[in-house]
Structure 1
Amino acid sequence: MNRKLFGTDGVRGTANTAPMTAEVALRLGLAAGKYFQRKSALPRVVIGKDTRLSGYMLENALTAGLTAMGMNVLLLGPVPTPAVGYLTRSMRADLGVMISASHNPHQDNGIKFFGPDGFKLSDAAEAEIEALLGTDIPLADPGAIGRAKRIEDGRGRYQEYAKTTFPQGVRLDGLKVVIDCANGAAYRAAPEVLWELGAEVIPVGTSPNGKNINLRCGSTHPEAAAEAVVAHGADVGITLDGDADRVMILDQQGRVADGDQIMALLAARWAEEGRLKGGALVATVMSNLGLERFLQGRGLRLERTPVGDRYVVERMREGGFNLGGEQSGHIVMTDHTTTGDGLVAGLQFLAEMARSGRAASELTHSFETVPQMLKNVRYAAGQEPLAAPSVQAAIAAAEARLNGHGRLLIRKSGTEPLIRVMAEAEDTDVLSQVVDGIVEAVSQAAV
């Protein structure tokens, strides 16, 4: 079943512009309510959001649709995306909803759904919900309309759970930590958890105003955290994105380690302890070739999936693996979480610092990366630049130029109207020529 509304991470777009309108959110609430209807005395859904101004509008519209279907709505307020996954399951909800556009700027927003098991819905489930949007959905009888109420302890429940993922008996006393929350969903939860575990906390990006989420801060803009690390003489920096399902780690000199380096550290450590299930790490096609070589050198495998943490999780569940993620900083540990969790991943890194007594700089460089270049080309709605013969010719020429000594990946973004052109090659001159050639061809085709 085809999906047009849902991308790789739910529905996303510019607020007050289709599909991110109150009307579409209302219809999504109706359709999701219909899809998850069951014979239950207390059909319930939990809704979380990040700090975007448009979250109020979408929250109210979704609530109207869901209550109209007879579902009782529990409003969590601003909480990280992984908190919604956790609370959906722990509170025995039929459905979880997160209102967030993750790392996107404030004018964007999104809606993503979690099933009763706390995992994001499959493509097939999203397609069925999308198909319901164009149908007449029978509403609940007047006496069966649902109720909505605020849940004041949702964030606290998540914080306490996050702390249980930290090794017993280990403390962060004496460790100075910069935490950049991107003015997003974890602006209270992350600093409080770190402080309660003993760290000296230097907060960055913890003053949301509805419009400054991800603005020159967070995992996609780690410069602010890097400056704070150096200025305060911090031991380490942790940068989250707007909904806190991504993380980047900064060493004591402010240098950034991406998701590949974090996954390499955890995979090697877990393998030593005999708790890396299946002897493999699951990552996407974007992960660096250096990570694959690092794992192979330790007798471990890298299982690659399409881009999107949902596909990483699906492969993990299929194969019984317990560690996976993305270069962009989604780290999924199914022993602890049902989706990427930036805070919990950051805690695992800090635990290794505390356990080993090693500096962050020693733990953030497990392997040498193969030179990699990624460039984005924006295109207008309705265009299909990748189908242009000139673009196809440029791609064929690039593959011939690499001649088996590199890797090429061209794909559409699942969340924005962008063509992403990525290549890896040991020869940096060849790398730039290959990427620039394709980017130029795509740009011309997108005019």
Structure 2
Amino acid sequence: MSRKYFGTDGIRGRANGLITPELALKVGQAAGLVFQRGDHRHRVVIGKDTRLSGYMIENAMVAGFTSVGMDVLLVGPMPTPAVAMLTKSMRADLGVMISASHNLFEDNGIKLFGPLGFKLSDDVEKQIEELLDDNLDRQLSQSANLGRARRIDGVHDRYIEFAKRTLPRDISLEGLRVVVDCANGAAYKVVPEALWELGADVISIGVEPDGFNINKECGSTAPEALSRKVRELRADIGIALDGDADRVIIVDERGHVVDGDQLLAVIAQSWKEDGRLAKPGIVSTVMSNLGLERFLQSHGIELIRTAVGDRYVLEQMMKNGYNVGGEPSGHIIMSDYATTGDGFVAALQVLAVVQKLGRSVSEVCHLFDPLPQILKNVRYRSGKPLDNAEVKSTIAAAEQRLNGHGRLLIRPSGTEPVIRVMGEGDDRVMVEEVVDTIVDALGHAAAA
């Protein structure tokens, strides 16, 4: 389905570029109309991260929702998984997170959740898109039926208690020195507080948002500052969240970064040993390293792959009954606890294993050696280079060469005229040669 506004994770773009007050108002109106089902008083929960443009978008969405008769509950800066959780627990018809996730402050976005806390399906997003290009004036509420808006206190405590309950009661974080980097984003209050309540010695960085510094040289996409702080303070672990805290990267006591694939391995192995895996498998994307797949197979756990995007991971989990999934970027979904990725809850699962085994983070979180992985992009102006006969022949020969020793992933970008060529395998030199031959063929086809 071709979509004008929605991408793989809501609507996202430059603030006052794509994401304007006018668009935010219309999204509020359109989503409000789609989710007014039944004759009860309808309500929507709106959270946001710490970007300067959040004020503008929040106010515009309040106007949109109230103009079609929906009451609005404003919770302020909160992690994306907290908004999803609150949407369900507060029995709202809809949840909204105003965030551009790991992007810098210039961007912003709108993520929507249904009444059970799940991201919207393609079909529902299509209904909203169709309304966005309509004249909605004739569908506005009468004066007496307009919605109301109010700010809700105490929601931070709700999320803290929810997160704490995901850690087994017999496990304490006492004795652990934890450095947490909240990316100057949505989790800057709740996560340090929750770690402290669980007994950890907490050092917080990335907790001074000013509207401009979200994800700037901090957080899960820039963990260098966290690595330095962990080494400087001789901490046991570093936890790096992104701007809306739905993804996490871990840093071990040596300052080495642990990605989402290793975290999935830790959680999958631990849950299988404890009998907590709903099925002997987990879900990840085509970008997860082959080393993860081989490690899981050696422990009787299947890796089911999906297209890139946590929404596709969750769809596969729900469809086939898996309760753990995620991405190398650190989106970890555990459906026993949450309806979307939750970076902090994932970090707590890793901490539980560390405390249970009494071993260092570097020992716990290095379960396999990733295979060498090469990723190159080929830009093209027009046409479909992947349909070129020479390109097809080159790809077939490359797959034959890697057979049994690696894999190829070649896909066009969904947002720009770029073809991404990824190869991985046991032999780095072979992988580089294979990727380069495909890149050369695509380059010739693009120039033709």
TM-score, normalised to structure 2, is 0.93
CA distance, structure 2, for counterparts of residue 159 and residue 415 of structure 1: 36
**Residue 331 (str. 1) matches residue 332 (str. 2):** yes
Q: Deviations over 1:255-287 (max 9, x none)?
A: 111111111111111111111011110111111
* Aligned counterpart, 1:241: 242
CA distance, structure 2, for counterparts of residue 401 and residue 419 of structure 1: 16
AA paired with 2:40? A
SS at match of 1:112: strand
SS at match of 2:283: strand
* Aligned counterpart, 1:30: 29
CA distance, structure 2, for counterparts of residue 241 and residue 118 of structure 1: 20
The offset of 1:434, in angstroms, is: 3.6
**Residue 397 (str. 1) matches residue 398 (str. 2):** no
* Aligned counterpart, 1:358: 359
**Equivalent pair of 1:325/1:331 in contact (CA under 8 Å):** yes
CA distance, structure 2, for counterparts of residue 76 and residue 439 of structure 1: 48
AA paired with 1:290? G
CA distance, structure 1, for counterparts of residue 253 and residue 2 of structure 2: 47
**Equivalent pair of 1:47/1:98 in contact (CA under 8 Å):** yes
* Aligned counterpart, 1:260: 261
AA paired with 1:400? A
Give 5+ residue unaligned stretches, structure 2.
none
CA distance, structure 1, for counterparts of residue 271 and residue 105 of structure 2: 37
**Equivalent pair of 1:402/1:425 in contact (CA under 8 Å):** no
Structure 1 residues 277, 107: closer, same or farther in 2, change over 3 A? same
Give me the CA root mean square deviation.
Answer: 2.1
Structure 1 residues 8, 384: closer, same or farther in 2, change over 3 A? farther
* Aligned counterpart, 1:9: 9
CA distance, structure 2, for counterparts of residue 259 and residue 434 of structure 1: 26
Structure 1 residues 278, 232: closer, same or farther in 2, change over 3 A? same
**Equivalent pair of 2:394/2:441 in contact (CA under 8 Å):** no
CA distance, structure 2, for counterparts of residue 418 and residue 216 of structure 1: 26
* Aligned counterpart, 2:143: 142
* Aligned counterpart, 1:282: 283
Structure 1 residues 446, 235: closer, same or farther in 2, change over 3 A? farther
* Aligned counterpart, 2:207: 206
**Equivalent pair of 1:9/1:415 in contact (CA under 8 Å):** no
Structure 1 residues 63, 354: closer, same or farther in 2, change over 3 A? same
Structure 1 segment 170-181 matched on structure 2, within 5 A: 170-181=171-182
Structure 1 segment 46-445 matched on structure 2, within 5 A: 46-137=45-136, 138-376=139-377, 384=382, 387-388=384-385, 393-394=390-391, 396-403=393-400, 404=403, 405-414=405-414, 419-436=419-436, 438=438, 445=446
SS at match of 1:277: coil
SS at match of 2:150: strand
Q: After TM superposition, what 4+ stretches of structure 1 lie above 6 angstroms from structure 2?
A: 389-392, 440-444
The offset of 1:435, in angstroms, is: 3.5
CA distance, structure 2, for counterparts of residue 222 and residue 415 of structure 1: 26
The offset of 1:438, in angstroms, is: 4.9
TM-score, normalised to structure 1, is 0.94
Give 5+ residue unaligned stretches, structure 1.
none
AA paired with 1:72? D
The offset of 1:12, in angstroms, is: 0.7
Structure 1 residues 418, 29: closer, same or farther in 2, change over 3 A? farther
CA distance, structure 2, for counterparts of residue 294 and residue 243 of structure 1: 30
